[in-house]
Amino acid sequence: MSKRSSPRNTSAGAALTELILETFRLNGRLLAAGDRLTGDLGVSSARWQVIGAVADTPLPVAQIARNMGLTRQAVQRVANALAADGLVTFTENPDHRRAKLVCLTDEGRQVLAEIDRRQVAWVNDLAAGLTRASIEDALKIVCEVRDRLEKATS
More confident residue, 142 or 3: 142
In whole angstroms, give the CA distance from residue 46 to residue 16. 27
Domains in the chain with CATH codes: 12-153 (1.10.10.10)
In whole angstroms, give the CA distance from residue 139 to residue 123.
15
The reported pTM is 0.84
**DSSP result, the chain:** -PPPPPP---HHHHHHHHHHHHHHHHHHHHHHHHHHHHGGGT--HHHHHHHHHTSSS-EEHHHHHHHHT--HHHHHHHHHHHHHTTSEEEEEETTEEEEEEEEE-HHHHHHHHHHHHHHHHHHHHHHTT--HHHHHHHHHHHHHHHHHHHHHH-
pLDDT at 98: 86
pLDDT digits (tens, 9 = 90+) for 123-146: 999 999 999 999 999 999 999 999
